[in-house]
Chain A
């Protein structure tokens, strides 16, 4: 079974631009969560999507947004990029049936803002 895939793996953007990151969950997983990882703040929860609806949201500004499609694939968007947005963005999927709570993480997208 293929794992969680994220594209692109690396990205360099300039301050003020916007960026869209993509995540394909494991087949059959309907919940997708996004996390930001930085050396200073560690791993922080951004948001979770299930059945195309945002279920939870972390403490991030409105510049960070996301969506989920009917095939469970998810995208996150960051507008008006700031230098502090440089981070590893991780996507995780979860099988929601049968009481499964373990999340499966992708390799991440490393975003560098210059």
Chain B
């Protein structure tokens, strides 16, 4: 399975934008990039996913590099409720299995 690399932790100030990076240099042409987050004491929550083009939804934006070897999850205005572990995952087009890495623990300061 293609692997992803994320920083272990990041800090942000409340109401400021946050850019969470993810490297996936061995991504194949049919792998989708998914982001999930896990708030304390909860199951993971879907955030966004994309294949080649940048994507926006009500939660976040996903910017995908032209060569697809990296991507960035953008939270436009961090709130205290956004403090969570964010996972960048590659999903093979043929399967539904999610391979989670270590994720990035995002801390939001008031």
- The residue that A56 contacts in the complex, of B34, B43, B44, B95, with Cβ under 8 A, is B95
Stretch at the interface among A12-20, A42-50, A60-68, A73-81: A42-50
Q: Is the interface of B mostly helix, strand, loop or mixed?
A: loop
> Please, which residues of chain B bring their CB within 8 A of the CB of A103?
36, 44, 46, 96, 98
- The distance in angstroms between the C-alpha atoms of A92 and B43, with both chains bound, is 9
Chain B interface size range: 20 to 34
- The distance in angstroms between the C-alpha atoms of A44 and B102, with both chains bound, is 11
Instruction: Tell me, rounded to whole Å, the shortest Cβ–Cβ distance linking A64 to chain B.
Output: 15
- The residue that B32 contacts in the complex, of A31, A55, A101, A104, with Cβ under 8 A, is A101
- The distance in angstroms between the C-alpha atoms of A56 and B96, with both chains bound, is 8
- Whether a CB of chain A sits under 8 angstroms from the CB of B99 is yes
Instruction: Tell me, rounded to whole Å, the shortest Cβ–Cβ distance linking B81 to chain A.
Output: 17
Q: Is the CB of B44 within 8 A of A105?
A: yes
> Please, which residues of chain A bring their CB within 8 A of the CB of B49?
101-102
> Please, which residues of chain B bring their CB within 8 A of the CB of A44?
100
- Whether a CB of chain A sits under 8 angstroms from the CB of B45 is yes
Chain B residues in the interface with A (C-beta under 8 A): 32, 34, 36, 42-46, 49, 87, 91, 95-103
